[in-house]
């Protein structure tokens, strides 16, 4: 019986190899187009791309009233008219997804001269790490895992990826806020995000008549939850960025980490200097960690003023034209060192 089973299993493996071959030639491209739009875009455009610009919604969100609706990547590209800059965007994306995109650049087809990746401070917080959007993001990269394509397709059907329920993710988020201790080099009364958040939630802002100013309290709490954390090498996003930096180092491609501007003004006025301290401390951590070798951190953290943020009631990195232009200019200035010949002053 054992011999019989071995023969049947071997036959099955041979059949699977054949089926994988058939799948690659028939349905794979269709599935890839449906599920991994960005990876298809990378593959389609890599031959003529000099610079890849990987971003989340910060790149394409504009203010409706802006007369110029160009994205940050478009505005950056204006400084290098002879180069092709290809932007690959997906809302809520983070380093865990960027690293998969990177690995799908076929260096034998064309090696890009530089890669710009947005370094979004909020993407390191518990709310983003445990966001309910994570399931969809993880689903978008299953088909390009390092297994045979047919196996990847089957794994997709089996939902074999980080596929927690919304409730589980929310619980993980809450646990993080409850249990992760905040560290300050000075005395501070709140030890966790939860304590800080609850305190502002209860005793935040009052209107002149003494009633709570609900919207302002809500926004304040968002700021706390978005930026109150201490970056360490244990943060999963730090690990992802380490991988990105390592990949670029290994393949000798210059990497520009576009540290996005945050609304420091509002963080200060709503929450206070302690939160701004944490934001700057985390920025310093990232600059120190990644600003070396062929990797450069483009620090935009404090460059955009409060009113230039298009969302005034939420924490986002969506900017009006002036904000986008400022960031694009700063990115272009960093790229200038590498592309001094191609650089043309655009505005």
Partner 1 sequence: MLFNSIHFLFFLPIVVGLYYLLPQKFRWILIFISSCYFYMVFVPKYILILFLIIIIDYIAALTIEKVEGRLKLFYLVASLTANIGLLAFFKYFNFLNENLVSVFSLFGKEFHPINLSVILPIGLSFHTFQSMSYTIEVYRGKQKAERHLGYFANYVLFFPQMVAGPIERYETLGNELKAVHKPIYQNFADGFRLVLFGLFIKMVVADNIAPYVNQVYLDPLKYSSFEVLMSIFLFSFQIYADFFGYSTIALGCAKLLGINIMNNFKTPYLAKSVSEFWSRWHISLSTWFRDYLYIPLGGNRVKIPRWSINILIVFMISGLWHGASWTFVVWGALHGIMLLLERYFSMLFKFEIKKEWNTLNVFLTVKTFVVTSFIWIFFRAESFQNAKDMLKALMRNQNVYPLQLGMLMPVVVTALMIMMDLFLYNSRFDAKLNTFKTPYRWAFYTVLLFCLMALSGTQKFTFIYFQF
Q: Write the burial class of residue 126 (CB in 10 Å: 0-12 exposed, 13-18 middle, 19+ buried).
A: buried
Nearer to partner 1, 26 or 333 (CB): 26
Q: Write the burial class of residue 299 (CB in 10 Å: 0-12 exposed, 13-18 middle, 19+ buried).
A: buried
**Binding residue for partner 1, selected from 65, 67, 157, 211, defined by CB under 8 A:** 157
Contact window for partner 1 (CB under 8 A) among 9-17, 39-47, 63-71, 87-95: 9-17
Q: Write the burial class of residue 147 (CB in 10 Å: 0-12 exposed, 13-18 middle, 19+ buried).
A: middle
For residue 319, what are the β-bridge partners? Answer: 309
User: To the nearest whole angstrom, how small is the minimum distance from the Cβ of residue 139 to partner 1?
Assistant: 8
For residue 308, what are the β-bridge partners? Answer: none
Nearer to partner 1, 24 or 269 (CB): 24
CA distances from 136 to 130, 140, 197, 302 (A): 12, 6, 28, 31
Contact window for partner 1 (CB under 8 A) among 154-162, 214-222, 251-259, 271-279: 154-162
Handedness of CA 316, 321, 323, 327 (dihedral sign): positive
CA distances from 285 to 151, 272, 342 (A): 40, 21, 32
**Binding residue for partner 1, selected from 155, 174, 182, 198, defined by CB under 8 A:** 155
Residue identified by tokens 């802006």 is: 66
208 touches partner 1 (CB under 8 A): no
| 82 C-beta neighbours (distance < 10 Å), count | 10
Nearest CA among 232, 303, 221 for reference residue 270: 221
Nearer to partner 1, 168 or 313 (CB): 168
Q: Which secondary-structure segment (H or E) carries 72? A: helix 72-77
109 alpha carbon, distance to own chain's centre: 26
> In the range 15-44, which residues lie near partner 1 by CB under 8 A?
15-16, 19, 22-23, 26-27, 35
**Binding residue for partner 1, selected from 160, 183, 207, 307, defined by CB under 8 A:** 160
The three-point CA angle 24-136-235 to 5° equals: 110
DSSP line for 169-221: HHHHHHHHHHHPBP--SS--S--BHHHHHHHHHHHS-B-TTS-B-HHHHHHHH
Nearer to partner 1, 1 or 208 (CB): 1
> Left (φ > 0), alpha (ψ -120 to 50) or beta: where does 147 sit?
beta
Nearer to partner 1, 13 or 183 (CB): 13
User: To the nearest whole angstrom, how small is the minimum distance from the Cβ of residue 154 to partner 1?
Assistant: 4
133 touches partner 1 (CB under 8 A): no
169 touches partner 1 (CB under 8 A): no
Nearer to partner 1, 19 or 178 (CB): 19
User: To the nearest whole angstrom, how small is the minimum distance from the Cβ of residue 27 to partner 1?
Assistant: 5
4 touches partner 1 (CB under 8 A): yes
**Binding residue for partner 1, selected from 130, 153, 169, 222, defined by CB under 8 A:** 153
Nearer to partner 1, 37 or 206 (CB): 37
**Binding residue for partner 1, selected from 10, 159, 171, 175, defined by CB under 8 A:** 159
156 touches partner 1 (CB under 8 A): yes
Residues 124 and 264: beta-carbon distance below 8 Å: no
**Binding residue for partner 1, selected from 100, 144, 150, 224, defined by CB under 8 A:** 150
User: To the nearest whole angstrom, how small is the minimum distance from the Cβ of residue 19 to partner 1?
Assistant: 5
> In the range 68-127, which residues lie near partner 1 by CB under 8 A?
none
Contact window for partner 1 (CB under 8 A) among 87-95, 102-110, 148-156, 325-333: 148-156
Site of interaction with partner 1 (CB under 8 A): 1, 4-5, 8, 11-12, 15-16, 19, 22-23, 26-27, 35, 139, 150-151, 153-160, 163
């Amino acid at each position: 019986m054992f011999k019989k089973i071995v023969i049947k299993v071997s036959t099955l493996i041979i059949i699977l190899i054949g089926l994988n071959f058939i799948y690659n030639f028939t349905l794979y491209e269709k599935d890839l187009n449906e599920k991994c739009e960005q990876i298809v875009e990378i593959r389609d455009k890599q031959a003529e791309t000099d610079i890849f610009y990987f971003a989340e919604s910060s790149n394409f969100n504009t203010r409706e009233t802006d007369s110029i609706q160009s994205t940050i990547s478009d505005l950056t590209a204006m400084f290098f008219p002879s180069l092709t800059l290809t932007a690959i965007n997906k809302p809520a994306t983070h380093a865990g997804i960027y690293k998969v995109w990177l690995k799908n650049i076929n260096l034998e087809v064309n090696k890009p001269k530089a890669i710009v990746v947005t370094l979004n401070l909020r993407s390191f917080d518990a709310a983003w790490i445990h966001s309910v959007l994570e399931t969809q993001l993880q689903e978008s990269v299953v088909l390009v895992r390092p297994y045979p394509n047919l196996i990847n397709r089957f794994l997709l059907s089996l939902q074999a990826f980080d596929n927690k329920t919304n409730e589980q993710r929310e619980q993980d988020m809450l646990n993080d806020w409850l249990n992760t201790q905040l560290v300050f080099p000075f005395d501070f009364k709140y030890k966790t995000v939860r304590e800080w958040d609850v305190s502002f939630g209860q005793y935040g802002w009052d209107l002149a008549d003494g009633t709570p100013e609900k919207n302002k309290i809500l926004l304040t709490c968002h700021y706390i939850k978005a930026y109150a954390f201490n970056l360490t090498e244990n943060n999963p996003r730090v690990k992802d960025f380490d991988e990105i930096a390592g990949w670029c180092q290994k393949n000798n491609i210059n990497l520009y980490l576009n540290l996005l501007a945050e609304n420091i003004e509002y963080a200060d006025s709503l929450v206070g200097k302690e939160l701004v301290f944490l934001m700057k401390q985390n920025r310093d951590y990232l600059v120190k960690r990644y600003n070396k070798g062929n990797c450069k951190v483009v620090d935009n953290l404090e460059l955009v003023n409060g009113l230039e943020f298009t969302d005034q009631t939420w924490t986002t990195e969506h900017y009006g034209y002036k904000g986008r232009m400022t960031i694009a200019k700063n990115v272009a200035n960093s790229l200038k060192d590498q592309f001094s010949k191609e650089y043309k002053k655009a505005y």
